[in-house]
Structure 1
Amino acid sequence: MTEFKNTERELHYFRMRLSVAGLFVLVFFGLLAARFVWLQAYQHDHYAAQAEDNRISIVPVVPNRGLIVDRNGVVLARNFAAYTLEITPSKIRGDLDEVIDALAGIVEIQTKDRRRFRRQLEESKNFESLPIRTRLTDDEVAKFTAQRYRFPGVDIQARLFRQYPLGSVASHVIGYIGRISQREAAKIEDTDDAANYNGTSYIGKEGVEKSYEAQLHGQTGYEEVEVSAGGRAVRTLSRKPATPGANLILSLDIELQKVVEQAFGNRRGALIAIEPATGDVLAYVSMPTFDPNLFVEGIDQQSWDELNTSPDKPLVNRPLSGSYPPGSTYKPFMALAALELGRRTPASAISDPGYFNFGNHRFRDDKEGGHGTVDMYRSIVQSCDTYYYHLANDLGVDAMHDFMKPFGFGQITGIDLEHEKRGILPSTTWKRTSYRRPEQQKWYAGETISLGIGQGYNSFTPLQLAHATAILANNGVVMKPHLVKFMEDGGTRARTATVPKESYRIALKQQNIDVIKNAMVGVMREGTAAKVFANAGYVSGGKTGTAQVIAIKKNEKYNASKIDERHRDHSLFTAFAPADKPRIAIAIIVENGGFGATAAAPIVREALDFYLLGKRANPNRQDDVPTEKIDISDTRPLAEIRADETSDGGPRAGAETQGNRD
């Protein structure tokens, strides 16, 4: 039986399905149109910005770090350009060690390079670019470039590197830079200057590199760079140039610095030379020294162990943080205190039997049998301890403290280096606040006696001793000691003086100052330093000093040959010259060097001979490193000039006091 379809019904269903399909198509196309309108009309700016961000990259332009030169233009810290091979760990595909092994087949990568990279990787963020090799040769750059396609996340970068051309000379002054650690990065992020360190990998770690970091760094610029889909720079769209950091013109005379460092040889100690009228530090020596170039790219473990474990402690900044008893170099200041406070006149004299008894304790003079009749002049020239035992007892600890404080003893001088140590200028108040137990807080009269010869609780830095000597030489006018004389704008070369005027004046009678200076001249002519300064060719004033390191047992005499070398007396000396109008004031300590006239004074003689007369102890010696010099009187930017040129404390009361051996 034949079945006939209902054509009308089928056609109706077909039309209904077609209408539904058309409706769906219309709805979906309407949604697409709405979405298109939404994206193009309402979200245009948002997605245009995202697209632009994918196309344009903002690249920081790290500024050139400022140069550091001495007072005569000798370059002490400079920059040079070199290529580095850098890895961005977040972009590495596969095992990082395998990538490094593959790279080692193209360019030389030593074990120390791998260790440094691993250490930096632990301290950095994963997206940062880290160097695996620095200072690539042109051949190495060409070899890697030819095979770069094999190493996504590895690239060659042109970087500026810091160099200290004189190596270890004045290393404690200049300091060094190093890669920014996580702790330093976090600290920078909390400052208003965080944006200025975008792209910066290095920061000052020690010395003036650290204390003048903000000035040396400069202002970061930026470039708008068009990049490809693979992140490659195509072209630069706009540029805001970086502002180079300020150049530092130090007060140091680097040739004087070299003379002193050479004179020290292998001995430990410190010397500070200051221009009294200005506070300029002419020489700042801490021995032994170190090579700051070792630290720039991260010091290797062997070099670090050698420096850090050495018993000579080359990393210790002795002028700034070493604290020593001043010994007999304290006596001129004690004598001046006696004159100013009316406790002595220049003619006041004592009879010295060779000791001073106080209670049941005998304080001995170095000269057995004593110096006989001693007035103030002879007390300084012959360095009579007994005279100053009497004087300290008459003055008392608090009067001594109050007089010495304005000279900077036991005070922060404010020199432009960090971590300056205060030292100890004792007083009854100091002792009460320094000790916990009541019996320790009490000041005993016997503790005052040894203070007069620069022993006991007295403990000062070599910087403080030099500063006080400069104040005395400058007739009580106090100039803040400083290492940076001028800060110079890296572009305009406009200069700003760091210490433009005096700090204050100590009210002293000129006739009293003249008495002390005259006696210090006598030390050089007929006293304890006469032999060293014979036929000097200039008139100078000075004072020898010898400071005990350990106490001598009762009834026992000091014998250096029977004492461990590091327990022997320190050798000290202070001086100024010329005597009538001092241009230089010096304080020196030679650790465990013995008598002041034996170890310390000859070094000062070499320093004064060079600075005042231009004489060198060894004129035939050739410096290992040639110096580069810039004409600092030229008013052009330094970049243009360079382009043209290159197309523990002393004994306490209660033990037998030996007295100072000068």
Structure 2
Amino acid sequence: MPQPIPLKDHDKEQSLVNRRLIACALLVIILCLALVGRLYVLQVLQFDYNSTVSENNRVHVLPIAPERGLIFDRNGVVLAENRPSFDLTLTRERAGDSAKVLDTVAEVLHLPEEERRQFDKDLKRVRHPFEPVTLMYELSEEQIALIAVNQFRLPGIDVDAEFIREYPRGDHFAHSVGYVGRINEKESKQLDSVQYRGTQSIGKTGVERFYEPQLHGHVGYEEVETNAQGRVMRVLKHTDPTPGQNITLSLDINLQEAAEKALGDRRGSVVCIDPDTGEVLAMVSKPSFDPNLFVTGISFKQYAALRDSIDRPLFNRVLRGLYAPGSTIKPEVAIAGLDSGAVTPATRVFDPGYYELPNYDHKYRNWNRSGDGWVNMDAAIMRSNDTYFYDLAHRLGIERLHDYLSQFGLGQKVSLDMFEEAPGLMPSPQWKRATRRQAWYPGETLILGIGQGYMQVTPLQLAQATTLIASKGVWHRPHLAQTVGGVAPVDENPMPNIVLHNNSEWEQVNHGMQLVMHDPRGIARDAAAGAQYRIAGKSGTAQVVAIKQGERYNRLKTLERNRDNALFVGFAPAEHPRIVVAVMIENGEAGGRVAGPVVRQVMDAWLLDADGHLKPSGPPHV
């Protein structure tokens, strides 16, 4: 039987449609209200915040690195300057996939894998948003052209021009002026993040490091408007950077070259000081190195060659070399003996070629094994008689000897503006108990009196101690900077002058040092032969390795680097000193014969004119 056909209920369907339309309308109204509400919050309630964020996305502040101050010698010769360089930079925010971009750069420029890996390390350095990272320095014209042709493949890559440091005199002033290098991760955490924005280099050694705040200057800024891709559309505001201050050093390039020539290819150092001011006139440490290698980043191979060299070219012997001073400190020991009353100029000691302490059978040998007979102070200084100074050290005792020698700056930092200076060591019973857990022995006082034993000083300290003999105890800290930004440096922690009970004692020691150079029996008479001025000097030969009791030094049986060091200190003209020179030659063996002529050549270069005549002197030395 057929089923009945159902009829549509139009009223019911119409009601269902109406309910659905109303629900949709309500949903649309709710969504519209939510949208309007959100727009109200963004446009009205959060207007200030969102407008600031929008502005920050559109406007960026880019740093402008200041130009580093220049460094000159006392004659105005440029020792450190800035030159333009075209560098490859990457702005990570504009690059997108930076790893892919760097791969393309390496492909375009045909770079080795080592440099490609270095790019990744550079990108990990701390930086600000939209601040470019320098990947390569000093691009060649060919490299710049390749980057330009492939620019469409290298988003975020730019070729920027900037100034980089250059040292036109190369290795001549590497140990005094120092060098700048790229800022490493440790330094970046310690530096002022505002002042060093956009700066790639910082002073690492020498004057460059000590006067970094003055040389660096102050950063400038540009406010720029960028599009969505980060490309600069226009400059809204520009603030110029403040360049660093120029520094004029007391070094003299002509004297520096003369000192290097006199030293030759030997390992050692030369320091020259003006006794009236403390200005360092020359500072040579050999062998040296080219500081330009470090400016934009030295290669691993080049650095390894310098670091591992047996001659240690990176080592500043003037400031960090610690050596036994040998007989060069005998003038200071003589001052201690005279001022304390332990001896007088007429006090005589008999020298049979050795010295023995009372109740001891150990013989402390004089360098002249046959002995010099009866010697007074003049003869002791002139002949560098060890026996006399053994006896004098015994009379003084270690406490007085330590205190007097410390007044001359031995065993402590003496410079005003030399960052790397080592303090050295002036031993005492307290020091030995604290470090060796041993008592001080009388024999150790004797060998300290001739500059051996535990005592260690730098060539700069030797030069300063000799300067105090020349200036009669007036302290001027040695310094390299003559002016910084046109202003002379100030010693905020001056050392007290050395005041003796009798000022004539300075002249007594000065006279003995002149005998070293000008008496027929003087230990360094050959070095002063034909001089047009009087020289006061003192030689020193310091052991590098100990020799057993009773044995003699035999150079033929001693390894070259274990042979004695040769030292010499002096000043001239002896009556009114205008220059103090200290020379140290590693393993040179004979101070008077080897180091003495170096001192003479340096003095001639400073005191004589082109015709070989003595230059006119200034006012008498005070």
Report the TM-score, using the length of structure 2 for normalisation.
0.91
Counterparts of 1:325-474 in structure 2, within 5 Å, are 325-358=324-357, 359-436=360-437, 441-474=438-471
Gaps of 5+ in 1: 489-493, 618-662
What SS does the corresponding residue of 1:532 show, helix, strand or coil? helix
Residue number among 29, 34, 39 corresponding to 1:36 in the alignment: 39
AA of the residue aligned to 2:375 = V
What SS does the corresponding residue of 2:75 show, helix, strand or coil? coil
Which residue in 2 is equivalent to 1:579?
574
1:465 positional shift: 0.7
1:117 positional shift: 4.0
Residue number among 498, 516, 527 corresponding to 1:506 in the alignment: 498
Which residue in 2 is equivalent to 1:544?
539
In 2: Cα distance, 1:126 partner to 1:214 partner: 22
In 2: Cα distance, 1:85 partner to 1:394 partner: 70
AA of the residue aligned to 1:396 = G
In 2: Cα distance, 1:575 partner to 1:235 partner: 65
Which stretch shows the higher mean deviation, 578-587 or 500-509? Answer: 500-509
1:200 positional shift: 1.9
Q: Is the 8 A contact 1:167 1:292 kept in 2?
A: yes
In 1: Cα distance, 2:22 partner to 2:102 partner: 66
Listed one character per residue, the Cα deviations across residues 499-529 of structure 1 (whole Å, up to 9, x for unaligned) are: 4896321112320001111111121212122
In 2: Cα distance, 1:64 partner to 1:357 partner: 65
Residue 596 in structure 1 maps to residue 591 in structure 2: yes
In 2: Cα distance, 1:306 partner to 1:11 partner: 95
Q: Is the 8 A contact 1:610 1:616 kept in 2?
A: no
Q: Is the 8 A contact 1:117 1:131 kept in 2?
A: no
1:243 positional shift: 1.2
AA of the residue aligned to 1:593 = G
In 2: Cα distance, 1:59 partner to 1:123 partner: 18
Counterparts of 1:625-640 in structure 2, within 5 Å, are none
1:216 positional shift: 1.5
In 2: Cα distance, 1:529 partner to 1:118 partner: 61
AA of the residue aligned to 1:532 = A
Residue 172 in structure 1 maps to residue 156 in structure 2: no
Which residue in 2 is equivalent to 1:478?
475
AA of the residue aligned to 1:212 = Y
Q: Is the 8 A contact 2:104 2:153 kept in 1?
A: no
CA RMSD of aligned residues (A): 2.6
1:368 positional shift: 3.1
1:564 positional shift: 0.7
In 1: Cα distance, 2:487 partner to 2:402 partner: 39
Which residue in 1 is equivalent to 2:302?
303
1:89 positional shift: 6.4
Which residue in 2 is equivalent to 1:623?
none
Q: Is the 8 A contact 2:94 2:229 kept in 1?
A: no
Which residue in 2 is equivalent to 1:280?
279
In 1: Cα distance, 2:290 partner to 2:199 partner: 23
Which residue in 2 is equivalent to 1:81?
84
In 2: Cα distance, 1:53 partner to 1:63 partner: 25
Listed one character per residue, the Cα deviations across residues 209-254 of structure 1 (whole Å, up to 9, x for unaligned) are: 1122222111112110111211111111001221111222212112
1:95 positional shift: 8.6
Listed one character per residue, the Cα deviations across residues 478-506 of structure 1 (whole Å, up to 9, x for unaligned) are: 11111122211xxxxx5243448963211
In 2: Cα distance, 1:385 partner to 1:14 partner: 123
Listed one character per residue, the Cα deviations across residues 284-307 of structure 1 (whole Å, up to 9, x for unaligned) are: 111111111111122112211211
Which residue in 2 is equivalent to 1:643?
none
Quick one: higher RCO (CA 8 Å, sep 6+), 1 or 2? Answer: 1
> How has the CA–CA distance of structure 1 residues 66 and 12 changed in structure 2, closer, same or farther, with 3 Å as cutoff?
same
In 2: Cα distance, 1:205 partner to 1:541 partner: 38
AA of the residue aligned to 2:515 = G
Listed one character per residue, the Cα deviations across residues 604-661 of structure 1 (whole Å, up to 9, x for unaligned) are: 11111111114599xxxxxxxxxxxxxxxxxxxxxxxxxxxxxxxxxxxxxxxxxxxx
Which stretch shows the higher mean deviation, 495-504 or 463-472? Answer: 495-504
Q: Is the 8 A contact 1:167 1:291 kept in 2?
A: yes
1:90 positional shift: 7.4
> How has the CA–CA distance of structure 1 residues 495 and 268 changed in structure 2, closer, same or farther, with 3 Å as cutoff?
same
Listed one character per residue, the Cα deviations across residues 175-229 of structure 1 (whole Å, up to 9, x for unaligned) are: 21111111112222xxxx3321222222111112112222211111211011121
Q: Is the 8 A contact 2:258 2:602 kept in 1?
A: yes
> How has the CA–CA distance of structure 1 residues 312 and 5 changed in structure 2, closer, same or farther, with 3 Å as cutoff?
closer
> How has the CA–CA distance of structure 1 residues 116 and 538 changed in structure 2, closer, same or farther, with 3 Å as cutoff?
farther
Which stretch shows the higher mean deviation, 168-177 or 363-372? Answer: 363-372
1:373 positional shift: 2.2
Listed one character per residue, the Cα deviations across residues 527-562 of structure 1 (whole Å, up to 9, x for unaligned) are: 122211111222221111111111222322212122
Counterparts of 1:207-222 in structure 2, within 5 Å, are 207-222=206-221
Gaps of 5+ in 2: 613-622
In 2: Cα distance, 1:119 partner to 1:588 partner: 44
The count of aligned residue pairs is 603
Which residue in 2 is equivalent to 1:659?
none
Q: Is the 8 A contact 1:539 1:578 kept in 2?
A: yes
In 2: Cα distance, 1:77 partner to 1:562 partner: 46
Q: Is the 8 A contact 2:481 2:488 kept in 1?
A: no
Listed one character per residue, the Cα deviations across residues 552-601 of structure 1 (whole Å, up to 9, x for unaligned) are: 22322212122111111110000111212212112111010011122211
Q: Is the 8 A contact 1:116 1:300 kept in 2?
A: no
In 2: Cα distance, 1:53 partner to 1:89 partner: 17
Which residue in 1 is equivalent to 2:202?
203
Q: Is the 8 A contact 2:218 2:241 kept in 1?
A: yes
What SS does the corresponding residue of 1:279 show, helix, strand or coil? coil
Which residue in 1 is equivalent to 2:525?
530
Counterparts of 1:215-230 in structure 2, within 5 Å, are 215-230=214-229
In 2: Cα distance, 1:580 partner to 1:485 partner: 26
Q: Is the 8 A contact 2:103 2:116 kept in 1?
A: no
1:132 positional shift: 4.1
In 2: Cα distance, 1:31 partner to 1:457 partner: 86
What SS does the corresponding residue of 2:331 show, helix, strand or coil? helix
In 2: Cα distance, 1:92 partner to 1:57 partner: 17
1:280 positional shift: 0.8
Q: Is the 8 A contact 1:486 1:498 kept in 2?
A: no
> How has the CA–CA distance of structure 1 residues 7 and 283 changed in structure 2, closer, same or farther, with 3 Å as cutoff?
same
> How has the CA–CA distance of structure 1 residues 547 and 118 changed in structure 2, closer, same or farther, with 3 Å as cutoff?
farther
Could you tell me the percent identity over the aligned residues? 42
Counterparts of 1:607-618 in structure 2, within 5 Å, are 607-614=602-609
Q: Is the 8 A contact 2:416 2:491 kept in 1?
A: no
Q: Is the 8 A contact 1:571 1:593 kept in 2?
A: yes
